[in-house]
Amino acid sequence: MFHKIFFLTIFPFLLFAQQDSFFSLYRFNMNIINPAFAGSEGQNIVSINSRNQWVSIENAPKNQLLILSSPRKNNVGLGFSVISSKFFIEQNTTTYIDFSYKLNVSDETSLFLGLKGGASFYKADISGLGSSNSVLDPAQKAISSFNPNFGIGALLKSANYWISLSIPRLFSSENDLNFISTDRVHSYLAAGFNIKLSNDFILKPSFLSRKVKNLPITHELSTHLEFKKLFQVGSFYRTNKTLGAVIFTSYKNIIDIGYAYELPTDNTLSNLSLKNHEIFLRFKFGESIGEEEVSQELSE
């Protein structure tokens, strides 16, 4: 009974202030927020990600993600992404194609510029909501919409750091049928650094800042410790009062597997057991290209 009251209480506010889901393993799926990352890793990549929020509550948010990324000739990178989000009576699927172009700033630094184009497919079945009124409400019906959009991004990358700036959707979209559902414009600023501690260990701190129109800025700080490019452990803190841990392993630079666990730091929310789980799987095809070799090999 509690979960029904909970959802019916907060559902109108979620519809009014709809925003992108957070992905704890965003560092390995940057294409979803910045098209400039398409092809930037120098390998053909297929990524699959599944995120389950508030696992103790029925009909809680669930997100599935598929990303394809590939370096092409003439410093071009291509990508494709599909994100499926389901929450209570809402379901939203976004599909985008990414294009990036690489500029060599120096021997060790590259600037990637990206464009993203696609659309979101939104639907909500309001008819499934209960009502104490025996008279049928004409507004209580299934709705759907198709919203095309475009995005831009830039990535400055070297062997020891990267800086990302992007707006994955430039335009907002609205549905107004007795309530408002808004897909808001999101702006992202992120950066990461590689600090060599020894021949075996590399420390990888990073941050991500997200601004959504009419909502507070959210910051995320994270630190990963990598061992011989085979294994990573890390933790992060998000200013929406979320704390998490990450574990990541790689097999022969072909298969990557990651897991993230989140929990709220707010005691009120912690008592509701609103834990989040995220699983990540990535396949890499083709030989990894070093930063100095990318331009030459892609242009052959």
Identify the helix (H) or strand (E) that includes residue 69.
strand 62-71
Using DSSP, state whether 50 is helix, strand or coil: strand
Identify the helix (H) or strand (E) that includes residue 167.
strand 161-167
Token pair 């919203």 is found at: 147
**Is 46 contained in some domain?**
yes
Domain of 55, CATH number, reads 2.40.160.40
List per-residue pLDDT tens for the chain, 300 residues long: 444 444 434 443 344 345 677 888 888 889 999 999 999 988 999 999 998 877 667 767 888 999 999 999 999 999 999 998 887 778 889 999 999 999 999 989 999 999 999 998 888 776 655 555 555 555 556 777 888 999 999 999 998 999 999 999 998 876 544 444 457 889 999 999 999 999 999 999 999 999 988 788 999 999 999 998 899 999 999 998 889 999 999 988 889 999 999 888 876 655 666 788 999 999 998 765 544 443 333 333
Domain that holds residue 96: 2-128+139-298
- Distance, in Å, from the CA atom of 170 to the CA atom of 184, rounded to the nearest integer, reads 9
Token pair 């993203």 is found at: 116
**Is 134 contained in some domain?**
no
- Distance, in Å, from the CA atom of 249 to the CA atom of 245, rounded to the nearest integer, reads 14
**Is 159 contained in some domain?**
yes
- Distance, in Å, from the CA atom of 235 to the CA atom of 265, rounded to the nearest integer, reads 14
What is the DSSP secondary-structure string of 261-288? Answer: EEEE-SHHHHTTT--EEEEEEEEEESPP
pTM of the model: 0.81
- How would you write 192-239 as a 3-class SS string? EECEECCCCEEEEEEEEEEEECCCCCEEEEEEEEEECCCEEEEEEEEC
Using DSSP, state whether 38 is helix, strand or coil: coil
- Distance, in Å, from the CA atom of 184 to the CA atom of 203, rounded to the nearest integer, reads 34
Into how many domains does the chain fold?
Answer: 1
Sign of the torsion angle spanned by Cα atoms 205, 281, 34, 175: negative
* Cβ-Cβ contacts under 8 Å for 81 (sequence gap 6 or more): 31, 32, 65, 66, 67, 68, 94, 95, 96, 98, 118
Token pair belonging to 116 = 């993203």
**Is 217 contained in some domain?**
yes
**Is 280 contained in some domain?**
yes
Token pair belonging to 168 = 């994955």
**Is 133 contained in some domain?**
no
If one counts every other C-beta atom within 10 angstroms of the C-beta of residue 282, the result is 21
Alpha-helical (H) ranges within the chain are 2-16, 267-270, 294-298
- Distance, in Å, from the CA atom of 252 to the CA atom of 35, rounded to the nearest integer, reads 27
pLDDT score recorded for residue 88: 74
**Is 54 contained in some domain?**
yes
